Structure 1
């Protein structure tokens, strides 16, 4: 699983407190599989569960910093505009207030004779 940019952690680690090993990795010769020791693994899992609150707090702080950075970058691109009473502005008409007969593909009016 890949780490998420805002949190810096994988969703699996935030939920369960340890990194996931997918079934395809179990049969491949990699570092995790070669160095696996059952008793030490149980100790590490218990330690990870004890520290999961700290990992989640760190992820929460990273996400808050990420959101503040994104807001700061967005606000830097926004051009402030001031309107005075009597200024003309272009108003966007939503679909709920629009008259269906004014639409190009709207229903045609039938004329009765």
Structure 2
């Protein structure tokens, strides 16, 4: 079977993002990209290209780009707020009390350096023995060995 295989390559920099409604290319380089395919064929954008007019239009585009970035930032903040609201609606937090079992976060100095990235991020379970206040708790392991200082 001797034939040509047609491939389609799509670069994400030409695709507008749903969140900002702008392409990565336009947000980075402050102008829209012309793909190589458009240069070889007479498309609408290439057919109307006038070099002298292009410089003036690019200056106008540069003035507009700050506004585009600001609008994209507003959309992004709005999107993040909606995500947070959805998460907070589902979150059913309750205060921790003595007797509850919890996991303790493994922080930098207590991590075993030989494990690298694949080491555990949590230790436990631990039992809360006393509420110290402001989200801090005194803990003991399941063998009733007390941890000397409170944990948050």
Relative to the length of structure 2, the TM-score reads 0.54
| Structure 2: tracts of 5 or more residues without a match | 1-13, 107-119, 125-152
Q: Which has the higher strand share?
A: 2
- 1:71 & 1:93 partners in 2: Cα distance? 23
2:127 corresponding residue in structure 1: none
- 1:73 & 1:30 partners in 2: Cα distance? 44
Q: Which has the higher helix share?
A: 1
- 1:28 & 1:89 partners in 2: Cα distance? 67
Question: What secondary structure does 2:31 align onto?
Answer: coil
Following TM superposition, the consecutive aligned residue runs of length 4 or more in structure 1 with deviations greater than 6 angstroms are none
| Structure 1: tracts of 5 or more residues without a match | 99-113
Pair 1:53–1:92, CA change in 2 (3 A): same
Tell me: higher relative CO, structure 1 or 2? Use CA pairs within 8 A at least 6 residues apart: 1
- Measure how far apart 1:59 and its partner are: 1.3
- 1:70 & 1:61 partners in 2: Cα distance? 14
- Measure how far apart 1:66 and its partner are: 1.3
Backbone CA RMSD of aligned residues: 2.4
Cα pair 1:8 1:62 within 8 Å, conserved = no
Relative to the length of structure 1, the TM-score reads 0.69
